[in-house]
Amino acid sequence: MTNVIVNVALKQEILDPQGRAIVGALGRLGLSGVADVRQGKQFVLNIDGEIDSAKLAQIHEIASTLLSNPVIEDFTVEVQG
C-alpha cells in the first residue's frame, strides 16, 4: 500500500473567506500576529501496489480535473514512503 497525498489550495489571488474567519477566531483565542490563514483540502489516496510513472500521471490528471479546479485552485502531489 502506498499513500499519495494531494493537497489543494485556493490560488493566492482568490479570496478565502473561511481562512479570514479563522484569523478572527485565532485572535480571540490569544494567538496574536497571525496575518493570514488559507484553508485548503488534503486527499490521501491509499493505493494498492507500487506507484509507477503511468499511475502517477493518471493521479496528476485526476488532481487537475476532479480534485481541484485549476481556475481557482493549485495542487501538489506527493508520494509517501
Q: Closest separation between CB of residue 81 and another protein, Å? A: 26
- Using the minimum distance from each CB to another protein, give the nearer residue, 69 or 80: 69
Write the CB contacts of 48 (distance below 8 Å, at least 6 apart in sequence). Answer: 1
Minimal distance in Å, beta carbon 50 to another protein? 27
Burial of 8 (0-12, 13-18, 19+ CB in 10 A): middle
Query: What is the distance between the alpha carbons of residues 53 and 35, in angstroms, rounded to a whole number?
Result: 39
In the complex, which residues of this chain contact another protein (CB under 8 A)? 10, 13-15, 17-18, 21, 66-67, 69, 71-72
Least distance in Å: CB of 32 to another protein? 23
